[in-house]
Amino acid sequence: MPQEVRCVWPARALLGEGPLWAPGQGAVFFVDIHGSRILRHGLDDGSQADWALEDAACWLVECADGDGFIAGLRSRRVVRLRLEPGRAVIAGELARIDPDRPGNRLNDAKADAQGRLWIGSMDDGEEAPSGAFHRLDPDGSIARVDDGYTVANGPALSPDGRTLYHTDSAARTIHAFDLDGAGRLSGKRAHIRFAEADGYPDGMTCDAEGGLWVAHWDGGRVSRFRPDGTLDRAIKLPVSRVTSCVFAGPALDRLFVTTAAHGRPDEPLAGALFECDPSGVRGLPPGRFGHPPG
């Protein structure tokens, strides 16, 4: 394993996804979609915990009011979720995504600095372009803002909040949109295209310099792309199915990477949570859903 990569939790997640830095808890949370688990890794003490779910969570975002999380469930419901000792409690439903598309499930989301949620959906069979991209506002209103995705993935926002990146993994393409203050998208364009040898672009995050860090599903690495879309660097991992990444720690100078064990029985560390050295680059504070109190 390269010196810049270390396994911090051999969790054997079937489909580890959606890593989230929760500053108030000093922990990175992530989900195992196929394993119907939520997992927590404490940064200071290395403590680990997990919660089983009947309806798998596909992503988590913290609530701006400090009252738990917003979770997107496999059933396409967006709910409030509280993680209590030994159990996960659904504390209310906010929205239902794609009610007219029963073959879909949710698959990745991020909150922006205005407290809006950007949510992707996908065909659960990964065959039809029935997935879409949605915006959920703090007042509960929801809009379908783009369509035609087979596997919608990895929304990420630039440091100035004026560019939003979103991926159709099956098409090996990361799109860029212009984003205005009212949450309107325009100017959709192909920003990065992966070659077959690169695998598929999966989850991603932006750093404070505008670099875009992208996980390579079936590509065994995480790469940083400059704001103009050119490749800056790549960090190889000892597993092939790399799914997403997040900056964490008080200084946002630690990069954590999720992976998947599904279909990889011969990779001992598949499904582990890794920490990678981002070489002096720092991340952006995580967004939260809703308006903060006061």
pLDDT tens readout for residues 217-240: 999 999 999 999 999 999 999 999
Tell me, what amino acid is at 176? A
Q: For residue 24, which phi and psi values (nearest 5 degrees)? A: -65, -20
Percent of the chain scoring above 90 in pLDDT: 97
Whether 268 is in a domain gets the answer: yes
Place of tokens 């989301």: 109
Is residue 243 pLDDT above 90, yes or no? Answer: yes
3-state secondary structure of 281: coil
Cα gap 272→130, rounded to integer Å: 30
Query: Could you tell me the two tokens for 112?
Result: 């922006």
Whether 27 has a pLDDT exceeding 80, the answer reads: yes
Element (H, E) at 106: strand 104-111
Mean pLDDT of the chain: 96
Q: Let me know if residue 281 belongs to a domain.
A: no
Q: Report yes or no on 294 lying in a domain.
A: no
pLDDT band at 117 (very low <50, low <70, confident <90, very high): very high
The answer to whether the annotation marks 126 as part of a ligand binding site is no
Cβ-based neighbours of 84, under 8 Å, separated by 6 or more: none
The domain of 181 spans: 5-276
Asked whether the beta carbons of 85 and 261 are under 8 A apart, the reply is no
C-alpha distance from residue 1 to each of 103, 269, 279 (Å)? 39, 11, 17
Predicted pLDDT of residue 292? 73
Q: Is 70 exceeded by the pLDDT of residue 138?
A: yes
Residue 55 has pLDDT above 90, yes or no: yes
Distance of alpha carbon 131 from alpha carbon 122, whole angstroms:
4
| 3-state secondary structure (DSSP) of residue 170 | helix
Which DSSP category does 189 fall into?
Answer: E
Residue 284, domain member (yes or no)? no
Residues 6+ apart with CB under 8 A from 85: none
189 is in an annotated binding site: no
- Binned at pLDDT 50, 70 and 90, residue 114 comes out as very high
Q: What is the pLDDT of residues 249-288, one digit of tens each?
A: 999 999 999 999 999 999 999 999 999 999 999 999 999 9
* pLDDT on residue 141: 96
Instruction: Please check if 105 is assigned to a binding site.
Output: yes
Round to whole Å and give the CA distance between 258 and 262. Answer: 13
In a domain, 63, yes or no: yes
Predicted TM-score (pTM) of this structure = 0.97
Whether 17 has a binding-site annotation, put simply, is yes
Distance linking the first and last C-alpha atoms of the chain: 48
CB-based contacts of 243, cutoff 8 Å, min separation 6: 15, 16, 17, 202, 203, 215, 217, 258, 259, 260
Q: Which CATH number fits the domain that encloses residue 235?
A: 2.120.10.30
283 occurs within a structural domain: no
Q: Specify if 282 maps to a domain.
A: no
Q: How confident is the model at residue 291 (pLDDT cuts 50, 70, 90)?
A: confident
Question: Structurally, how many domains does the chain consist of?
Answer: 1
Catalytic residue ranges = 202
Question: Contact at 8 Å (CB) between 219 and 199?
Answer: yes
290 occurs within a structural domain = no
Please report the pLDDT score of residue 294 as a whole number: 58
What pLDDT score does 1 carry?
72
The predicted pLDDT at position 100 comes to 95
